Every structure is written in C-alpha cells, then in structure tokens.
Amino acid sequence: MEAQWQIAPPIELEPDFLAAVARHVQTEVPTAQGEFVAQLLWQRGIRTIHHLETFLNPQAYTPASPFAFGVEMEQAMERLRMARDRQEKIAIWGDFDADGLTATSVLWEGLGQFFPPEQLTYTIPNRERESHGLNCPGLDRLAQAGFTLIITCDTGSTNLAEIDHGRARGLDFIITDHHTLPPHRPPVTAIVNPRYFPTDHPLYHLSGVAVAYKLIEALYLTLPDVATQPVTELLDLVAIGLIADLVALQGDCRYLAQMGLEQLKRQSEPRTATRPGVAQLLSLCKRGGDRPTDISFGIGPRINAVSRIQGDARFCVELLTSRDRPHCQKLAEQTELANTRRKELQKNTLKAVETQIATLDLSTTNVIVLGDPQWSGGVLGLVAGQVAQNYGRPTILLNLGADGYARGSARSTHGIDLYELVLSQQDLLYRFGGHPFAAGLSLKQENLPLFIEGINQALRRQLPDPSQLRPVVKIDLSVTVADLGGALFTELKFLEPCGMGNPAPLLLIKNCQFRNIANKNIEDRKGNKIKYIKTEFSLYDASHPQGFPGVWWGHYRDEISPDLTYDAVVELDSNPHEKRYEVRLIDLHLAGTQSPQPTATPILDWRQARPVDPPLAYALQDCPVGWEEVQQGFQKAIAQAQPLALAYHAPNLPDPTQYLEQLIAMAQTLQTRGERVGRSHLQTQLQVNSQQLDLSLAALAAMGFVLESGADWVKICGYGESQPDADGVVGQLWGAIAEAQFRHHYFTTVPLPTVAQNIEPIPPTAPIE
C-alpha cells in the first residue's frame, strides 16, 4: 500500500533557543549553526533552554529515585534484607528476549554483590516449550531445590495462577516487570512495575531491564557498604535491553540509555572492556557501541536470535556477564550463527506471508490475521512488525500447530492499542500477554474465524474511515544531496538515542536520480552468501554531481531506474565498516507524483459528550489548569499519530470554604484511625492535584495537625497548637482552590479555535519547503 507522506514545515525559532542549540552543536561542528536539529527539537516539544539542557546532556538531568516506586520498593528491600540475614536461596526468573536476558543479567550481577553464588540461580524459559512467564513445573523444581524467594524480571505481573501455585509451595515473590497490570494487585511481597505511575511520569516507560536496575539501585542505597562494584557498571546492559525493547526513550529511559551508551562504548576498546562477551558482539557486528543503532541493528538482533532459532537462550546470561574471554568468544559465535539463520528464515516467512496477503481484500481488512503450519514462531513477531509497517494495519501471524492450537505474535501501527484490541476477544483466547505495541497469543484453531471477524469489527468501530489505516511516512526535513555528509550527521546525532517517541530523522530529497545500482547478498563471517538482499546505489541531484552512497535493504535493483527522477525519503547514517556516511532509503515516488502534506493533528471536542463509538484518539481525561498540560497532551497525540480529544469535565469541587471544612473532617478521621494513607488516595478523595495536596497538608500542619509522610503516604498522628502563620498558609490554600475552580471552568468552556491557536505548533498555512 502506497504511504502518505507528511512533512513538518519549518518554524521561525526564537533567537535565544536557536543560539542555545548552536552552542551545543558547535562543540562538535564549529561552523554549524544548528538550524536543522533546532527545528527537530522544537517539533518534538523541546522548547525551553532548561529542557534542552536536560535532553542533550544526561549530566544535567536528575533521574528519579528508585524509591519513587513507594511502598512496593520498600517492601522489596525489606524482603531482600531478610533473605540476606537468613541466607535464603534466591531464584531470578527472566525472559528469553534481549530485554529479559539483560534484566536477568543485571539482577544476577547486581544481587551477586550482596549474595554468594551458591544462594543464587536464574531461570530462562525455553521459547519453544514454555513461552513467556512463570510456569508451575519450573516453580516446583525451584521449591524442591530449597529456593524460597523468586524475583522476576520483565515478566510475572499477570501470572496469577502460577503465583498462587508457588505460594502454596512456600515461595515468596518480588515481581519486577513493565507489562500490562492485572485488574487487581497479585498476592506478592512486592510488585515493582512502572505501569502504576501516570503516563507522564519519568519512570512510566521503563523496560524490564530498567526496572531490574532500579531494584538493584535501591539495594545499593539500602545496604551502602556491601557492594564492591559501582552500580553504574550495569548501565551498558541496561542500554542494550532498553533500546532493543523499543520503549519510548523519554524521561529516565532516555537518561539511562544515554549513560548506558557511554558505558557500552568502553566495551569496544580492549583497554577499557570489562565484558568480553559484549566486546565480541560489537566486533562481530562491526560497531563501536556509541550509537543506539549499534544495539537495534547489531547486538539486539543477535541476542534475540538465539531463542528464535534455538529456543533455549540461557547461555546469553553467561555471554553478557562472564569474564572468561575464550568462553565468551565461543558463545558470541553461537549468537552470530543464530542471527544468520534468523535473517534467512525471516525473509522466507515474509515472502510466504505476502503471498497470503495478495489473496485478501484489504479494503475490508482492518486487522491482518494469517496462519500457516510451516511458519516458525521465532520470527513471527519480526515479520508481523514488517507487515504492519508496510500495510498500515495491525498484524497477527500464527503458527498452526498439530495440537490444534494457533500460537503467534501481534504488532501494532498508527498508535492503535494492540493489547486492548486483542483483549476485546479474550473469550476466544487460550493465552495472551503484551503491551500496546506488541503481544503474544494462542487460541484454538477452531476459534480463528470468529477471532478474525471479531477483531476486525472491534477496530472498525474505532476507525470507521479505512483511509486512516493508510501507512504514513512522517518526514522531518527537506534537504539536498549536498547537505548530506558528516556535518549534518553529527548535527542530527544530538537527537540520539532515537527510538519510540523520538524517531530517527527522515529526510526528503526532491528530484534526485539513482546511479551505480547493484544488488548484493550479505555474507556471514565465513564469507557464505545469505539470501538477504540489499541494493546499493549512488544518489544524485542538481546540488551535488559527485553523488552520495546509499543502501536499500530487502529490495532489488530493478525496483529503481537510473533513467527516472524521484522524490526520496532517506535516513542519514554512518557505516563504520566502510568508513563512510550513507543514506538508507525508506520510500520513494516518481518526482512530483505525491506532494507531502503538512503535518496536522485534529482536535476533537468530547467535553459535553463522548461519541457512542468514538474514533481512535488520544483522550485528555483530566481537566487542565494551564495550557502546558493541553500542550503535553497534544504532543502525545502527535507522537501516536492520533487526533487529540478533549474528553475531560470540570471536577465537582466545593467552594474554598467548603473544601477547608471537608479537608479538616478528613484529617480528623485519619487521626482517629492512626493509619497511613496513600497520597494518590487523598488526591482522589479531595479531587486535587499533587501541588494542591501539598498545600492542603501544609495548611493542616499550620492548623496544628501532626503529620508524618513518605514518598507516597501520609499519616496524621495527633493534634497540637497552630502555627503563628496559620492564617497565611490557609489563605494560600484558599486562593489556590479558588484559582483552580476558575481555571477548570475556563478550560471546560474555552472554544475549540482558541485551543487550536494556543497549542498548534505548526501553522497550518506554512509553506512546505
């Protein structure tokens, strides 16, 4: 399906902002003015000097404390301290993908600073025989071997039956995970999962390895005099898992990835390398470890290939943590062989899938669901991702097993919440798990027709207009061939690490030609040809008669002609193996056959009533008190390629005097009970935000209430004398409540055109150049 091109028109930037960007860029390219990257930073919501500094410089960013997880992290630390005092045996239960394997490695190495090796073990499920998550036979083996505490990583949140089974065998559980939460908290000692945070919290997007790192970081703070290795030595593993798992690199995720890449770069230098296995992986993929693509196109696919091809990926933990260089070299060779096989298998499977797609009526197909007995489950997720991107539709690919079950993987597109979409058919499923962008599932083959019909109807209700499923290529900048090269690459590199929420920049080059076009099969380390095609070329336009090298992965030379003129969308990259800069071709059209449309995000008004069958949109649910909150919602809508829906209502707040009476009555009740209460609970009961709650607690203290508090709880212990400035403190609260009421009324009645004028970052009439 032909993609619709969208381009963000240039914006006239504030001089102070442009100057601040230039200062950063000129540290690497003295003659650069930074206009290109400044445009991209502004488009992506980086619009203040402070935000710019913390985005570009990890040393200027203040990461969240691991104890931001509140009582869950505190309970996890208490249980680990108890296990250390009692010399209990601890089992780490990980997962077989790059995020799960690095998370297991972080826990193995991090806990190893506090527990002797004989008290620790780890379990990695076999992808082919066991699939993701806890399983009862494995828990039985651990209980029989004398283990009493299970720490999961990148898994476990929804394994309720298995947790109950393990508890009956005397096992305690600390769950560290980042996948979707169950409706009710599982009966575990602690569940450390960032999904409990609001979506704008800096820890919300942590992957499994990052959550595991936060657990170890908390243990370092709890027992500060025990470890001999700095906790930051684990950050290279964190970067590998974070970037390979395709989470949004925002907040602490971006910080951890930045710091981890600095650590990873050390592994490419023999004199600074501390992980021979990681060093060997970097050598095999001919990369230096300083860029996210070194992980996403290098280390990550090799680690993931092991379980995809062999099923058992347990040795990858040894590869990542062992200091035995010869042993690590042998293990790295195994990952390279698995990755070679994975590439060929993926190519053949994609060809078979596209043969089936040719028989579908895509005009009536909202979700692509296909199956085959011959398809290998190990590569179905990869192929589903390719198909979803190419055809602009959520894609589910299944292996039809001889046992009557269909098992496979699903991938999303267009910001569609895949987890909720598949969950709408849960009555037809046997097993299911995942998150909004990717999922795994199994069901009886006899249920497949109903499943296909039901999931297509579910998405059709969300997206009544089929044109919304057309693939979209979002172009960031229009450049010429003369602009390409080291200076532009270095400037754009300031955006890194790129990933979800901060994609690698796409460049439009108009009226260009392709010459020196040649096909090439890639080779493995032994020089054997692999049936994984790429096309190499030189790119020309009127600005640069010498041409610029490029590559088009997975395509043949007869798909482009040296005799025609094209408009092309490319990504600028470096090729350390060839010691050159090159472009990676993303999409192309004959010159002038498609005019890129200006990026625009519609705004929907659901403040009075939500539609019965609402279209897919990013819904702003909480009534804002300032334009910044609306702007944040708008940026998230842009990131998800969805309209912004104003779906909030004004909270039913009492007037300030009534609010004070309600606050005092609640405080008296809490004083009588003498119990801790969560801050989130108080915010819900009082219908206030975090800042207003702080003012409320300050007012109570000024009036004489004796308070104790932690990061996420409050306890009222008694009542004493009021403070001399009580009237002033209470007056501040009174004014804040009155101001909030005014702002809530304003934002529930402000006309839609006024909203658009205040938040639209790109003028709709701006020229496209």
**CB-based contacts of 707: which residues, under 8 Å, 6+ apart?**
697, 700, 701, 714, 715, 716, 717
Report how far residue 643's alpha carbon sits from residue 601's, in angstroms, rounded to the nearest whole number.
5
Report how far residue 376's alpha carbon sits from residue 401's, in angstroms, rounded to the nearest whole number.
10
**CB-based contacts of 225: which residues, under 8 Å, 6+ apart?**
none
Report how far residue 767's alpha carbon sits from residue 615's, in angstroms, rounded to the nearest whole number.
30
Asked if residue 299 lies in contact with residue 335, where contact means CB atoms within 8 angstroms, the answer is no
The two tokens of residue 635 are 């940026």
Beta-bridged to residue 186, according to DSSP, are none
pLDDT in tens, 709-723: 887 888 998 888 888
Q: What is the CA radius of gyration of the chain?
A: 27
**CB-based contacts of 211: which residues, under 8 Å, 6+ apart?**
103, 153, 154, 176, 177, 178, 192, 193, 194
| Least confident piece of the model among 13-17, 313-317, 370-374 | 13-17
Amino acid letter, residue 267? Q
Asked if residue 407 lies in contact with residue 399, where contact means CB atoms within 8 angstroms, the answer is yes
pLDDT value at position 765? 30
Task: Name the one residue in this structure whose structure tokens are 């092991």.
Answer: 306
pLDDT value at position 230? 96
Please give, one letter per residue, the 3-state secondary structure of 355-379.
Answer: HHHCCCCCCCCCCEEEEECCCCHHH
Helix (H) or strand (E) holding 478: strand 477-478
| Least confident piece of the model among 268-277, 516-525, 643-652 | 516-525
Q: Does the structure show a pLDDT above 80 at 615?
A: no
469 or 378: which carries more pLDDT confidence?
Answer: 378
Residue 198 banded pLDDT, cuts 50, 70, 90: confident
Render 737-755 in DSSP notation, one character per residue.
HHHHHHHHHHHHHS-HHHH
pLDDT value at position 768? 27
| Least confident piece of the model among 41-55, 226-240, 514-528, 615-629 | 514-528
SS3 626: coil
Span 722-735, average pLDDT: 86
Strands 120-123 and 89-93 come out as parallel
Nearest to 537 by CA among 506, 510, 512: 512
Report how far residue 77's alpha carbon sits from residue 176's, in angstroms, rounded to the nearest whole number.
13
233 or 648: which carries more pLDDT confidence?
Answer: 233
pLDDT in tens, 475-503: 999 999 999 999 999 999 999 999 877 88
Q: Look up the pTM and report it.
A: 0.76
**CB-based contacts of 760: which residues, under 8 Å, 6+ apart?**
601, 634
Q: Does the structure show a pLDDT above 70 at 592?
A: yes
Can you state the angle between helices 325-357 and 276-284, rounded to 10 degrees?
50
How many CA atoms lie within 13 Å of 193's alpha carbon, on the beta-carbon side? 23
Asked if residue 92 lies in contact with residue 151, where contact means CB atoms within 8 angstroms, the answer is yes
The two tokens of residue 357 are 């797609």
**CB-based contacts of 94: which residues, under 8 Å, 6+ apart?**
100, 101, 103, 104, 107, 122, 123, 124, 152, 153, 154, 155, 317
Asked if residue 221 lies in contact with residue 474, where contact means CB atoms within 8 angstroms, the answer is no
SS3 27: coil
Report how far residue 565's alpha carbon sits from residue 588's, in angstroms, rounded to the nearest whole number.
10
| Least confident piece of the model among 4-8, 367-371, 615-619 | 615-619
pLDDT value at position 762? 38
Task: State the CB neighbour count (10 A cutoff) for residue 279.
Answer: 23
Report how far residue 64's alpha carbon sits from residue 200's, in angstroms, rounded to the nearest whole number.
13
Span 690-704, average pLDDT: 89
368 or 690: which carries more pLDDT confidence?
Answer: 368
Q: Does the structure show a pLDDT above 70 at 530?
A: no
Residue 531 banded pLDDT, cuts 50, 70, 90: low
- Expressed in angstroms, the distance from the first to the final Cα of the chain is 26
pLDDT value at position 767? 27
Report how far residue 610's alpha carbon sits from residue 145's, in angstroms, rounded to the nearest whole number.
56
Q: Does the structure show a pLDDT above 50 at 507?
A: yes
The two tokens of residue 749 are 């009645």
Report how far residue 703's alpha carbon sits from residue 711's, in angstroms, rounded to the nearest whole number.
22
pLDDT in tens, 378-425: 899 999 999 998 888 999 999 999 999 999 999 988 778 888 889 899
176 or 623: which carries more pLDDT confidence?
Answer: 176
Q: Does the structure show a pLDDT above 50 at 49?
A: yes
